[in-house]
Amino acid sequence: MVSFDLTGKVALVTGGAHGIGFSIGTALAQAGATLCFNCSSEGSMEKGIAAYKAAGITAHGYVCDVTDEAAVDAMVLKIAVELGPVDILVNNAGIIKRVPMCDMPAGDFRKVVDVDLTAAFITAKAVLPAMIEKRAGKIINICSMTSELGRENVSSYAAAKGGLKMLTRNIASEYGQYNIQCNGLGPGYIATPQTAPLRERQPDGSRHPFDSFITARTPAGRWGEADDLAGPAVFLASPASDFVNGHILYVDGGILAYIGKQP
């Protein structure tokens, strides 16, 4: 039996207070890892710690803006001193702005790229030296359907997530020689606060058109749940995936395989 055991490993999940990051954090901790997460505010951190506690997990929470290189370096150093160097990094923190491209100020485009792409570079750069020294490490970047497909109104998000796919392959290429694996997880459409506006009921009580579109576009016939990411995340964090590198594992209920329903 190959090993999915993460005992003795220190994991850092960015944006791990709720949503997909919380489910991944829970899964890594349940597989044995010591769990650290960060988020953008004190309130979110306290709620996250309480939610992990309710799941029987002692999580270590940090308020840290992932776009701030000095703050990320300080957090990674603090974790190393208090718990040991980060063995597993999950770059999950992300934002989206759904705006037609012609209406989007360049500053807003840059903000999305900063959080969804540049921050993954900053965080990976902060943990890589210790991974190189240990000759072991796992980096998991949370990509998207938009790492592969375009859509209306998400130009900045798609540009960032497409870039994140290539950053993943480049980290694998550059540091694979040190037994470091960098892979991506590409969630399909998952029911979290980030996608809540796409499921809002219409004033007449009918489903949001995007909600109907996604259900029809997914062979599984449903939105994903954040917990659907748990098993794939443990796989990519564990020795079971030691020869998997630079790969994006799409967890999408089959969307990318499907041309859509017959009219």
Active-site annotation, residues:
157
Nearest-approach distance from CB 109 to ligand GCO, in angstroms:
15
- The listed partner (ligand NAP, ligand GCO, none) that binds 198, CB under 5 to 8 Å by sort, is ligand GCO
Helix axes 42-54, 19-30, angle to 10 degrees: 40
One-letter amino acid at 99 equals V
Q: Toward ligand NAP, which CB reaches closer, 180 or 255?
A: 255
Does position 98 bind ligand GCO by CB under 6 A?
yes
Those residues whose C-beta lies under 8 Å from the C-beta of residue 109, and which sit 6 or more positions away, are 155, 156, 159
Partner interacting with residue 41 (select from ligand GCO, ligand NAP, none; CB below 5-8 Å by kind):
ligand NAP
Integer Cα distance of 127 and 80 in angstroms: 10
The DSSP bridge partners found for residue 262 are: none
192 binds, options ligand GCO, ligand NAP, none, Cβ within 5 to 8 A by partner type: ligand NAP
Instruction: Return all residues near 120 (Cβ < 8 A) that are at least 6 apart.
Output: 91, 141, 164, 167
Of 38-46, 188-196, 224-232, 240-248, the segment contacting ligand GCO by CB under 6 A is: 188-196
Phi and psi at residue 220, in whole multiples of 5°? -70, -15
Nearer to ligand NAP, 30 or 40 (CB): 40
Phi-psi region of 25 (alpha: psi -120 to 50; beta: other; left: phi over 0): alpha
Residues interacting with ligand NAP, by CB under 6 A? 15, 17-21, 38-41, 44, 65-67, 92-95, 115, 142, 144, 187, 189-190, 192-195
- Taking CB under 6 A as the rule, does residue 250 contact ligand GCO? no
Q: Contact positions toward ligand GCO, by CB under 6 A?
A: 96, 98, 144-146, 151, 154, 157, 187-189, 194-195, 198
